Amino acid sequence: MPKSADRFLYNLAPFIIMIATFLAMAVLPFAKGLQTMDFDIGIFYVTAVSSIGVIGILIAGWSSNNKYSLIGAMRSGAQILSYELSVSLSLVTIIILAGSMQLSVIVESQRDSWFLFKGHIPSLIAFVIFLIAGTAETNRGPFDLAEAESELTAGFHTEYSGIKFAFFFLAEYINMFIVAAMATTVFLGGWMPLHFGSFESFNVVMDFIPPLVWFFMKVLGVIFLIMWFKWTFPRLRVDQILTLEWKYLLPINLVNILLMCLVVLTKFHL
Amino acid sequence: MSEIKEIIISSDKIHTDQYLVNMGPQHPSTHGVLRLLVRLEGEIVHHIQPHVGYIHSGIEKMCEAISYPQVIHLTDRMDYLSAHMNNEAVALCVENALQVEVPERVKYIRTIMDELSRLASHQLWWCVMGMDLGALTTFFYGLRDREHILDIFEETCGARMTLNYSLPGGVMFDIHPNFQKRVKEFIKEFKKKLPEYDQLLTGNVIFQERTKEIGYLSLEDAIAWGVTGPAGRGSGFSCDVRKHHPYSAYPLVQFEEKLDTRGDTFTRYRLRIEEMHESMHIIEQLIDNIPEGDYAVKMKGVVKLPEGEFYQRVESARGEFGVYIVSDGKKNPYRVKFRSPGFSNLFALNKMASGHKIADLVAIMSTLDLVIPDIDR
| A67, A75, A234 member nearest B204 (Cβ) | A234
Of residues B172, B28, B151, the one with CA closest to residue B109: B172
The Cα–Cα gap between B314 and B350 comes to 26
Taking an 8 Å cut-off on Cβ atoms, the answer to whether A150 and B362 are in contact is yes
Contact state of A150 with B137 under an 8 Å Cβ cutoff: no
Residue B226 lies inside a defined structural domain of this protein: yes
Residues B118, B272: Cα–Cα separation, whole Å: 10
Residue B93's closest CA among B117, B72, B62, B123? B72
| Nearest chain B CA: its distance from A149 CA (Å) | 7
| DSSP 8-state assignment for residue B251 | G
pLDDT at residue B277 tops 60: yes
Query: Can you tell me whether residue B7 is helix, strand or coil?
Result: helix
> CA B321, CA B371: separation in Å to the nearest integer?
13
CA atoms of A219 and A124, how far apart (whole Å):
17
Query: Rounded to an integer, what distance in angstroms lies between the CA atom of residue B111 and that of residue B25?
Result: 35
Examine the predicted complex and report whether its ipTM is higher than 0.85: no
pLDDT, tens digit (0-9, with 9 covering 90-100), for B173-208: 888 888 888 898 999 989 988 888 888 888 888 888
Domain with B175, as residue range(s), is: 69-301+360-369
The model's pLDDT over A108-166, given as tens digits with 9 standing for 90+, comes to 888 777 777 777 788 888 889 998 888 888 888 788 877 777 777 777 888 888 888 89
In this predicted structure, which of A95-99, A142-146, A174-178, A221-225 has the lowest mean pLDDT?
A142-146
Residue in A151, A153, A241, A244 to test binding to B, most B beta-carbons within 10 Å: A151
Q: Are B345 and B229 in contact (CB under 8 A)?
A: yes
DSSP line for A163-187: HHHHHHHHHHHHHHHHHHHHHHHHH
CA atoms within 13 A on the CB side of B267: 21
Helix or strand (DSSP H, E) at B171: strand B170-171
Q: Do A232 and B135 touch (CB under 8 A)?
A: yes
Q: Residues B45, B356: contact at Cβ < 8 Å?
A: yes
B154 within some domain: yes
pLDDT band of residue A220 (cuts 50, 70, 90) is very high
Instruction: Tell me whether A140 touches chain B (CB under 8 Å).
Output: no
Number of structural domains (chain B) is 1
* DSSP label of B198: I
Whole-number pLDDT of residue A251: 92
Identity of residue A135:
T
Q: Is B294 exposed, middle or buried (0-12, 13-18, 19+ CB in 10 A)?
A: middle
Measured between beta carbons, the chain B residues lying within 8 angstroms of A150 are 28-29, 131-134, 362
Q: What gap in Å lies between CA A115 and CA A122, rounded to an integer?
A: 10
* pLDDT tens by residue, B16-75: 678 888 887 888 877 778 888 888 887 888 888 888 888 888 888 898 999 888 888 888
A139-177: burial string, b at 16+ Cβ within 10 Å, e else: bbbbbbbbbbbbbbbbbbbbbbeeebeebbebbbebbbb
Which CATH number characterizes residue B99's domain? 1.10.645.10
